[in-house]
Amino acid sequence: MARKQKLDFSDIGVTRHKTNLNQKDFWARYGVTQSGGSRYESGRNVPKPLAILLWLHKSGKVTDKDLADALK
């Protein structure tokens, strides 16, 4: 049986800094406001649908273009 893995984004602020994007631009790619993103970076739980999207993007299964197209 496969081991259940928890999606962990406790380091999402570090991840964002590595992209050289400010909070507004980083979180806008996911349809999240700057203030919402700030709360997630401060430790608030990331909602499961957003966590899945973040994981898919981080793993390369969803591209930057995919995110941009989805927001159109």
Q: Which string of DSSP letters, residue by residue, matches 13-43?
A: HHHHHHTT--HHHHHHTTT--HHHHHHHHTT
Model-level pTM?
0.84
Where does residue 20 fall: left (phi above 0), alpha (psi -120 to 50 degrees), or beta otherwise?
left
- pLDDT of 5-28, one tens digit each? 666 788 899 989 999 999 999 999
pLDDT in tens, 39-62: 999 999 999 999 999 999 999 999
Structure tokens, 16 = 């964002």
Angle at 36 between CA 61 and CA 15, to 5 degrees: 45
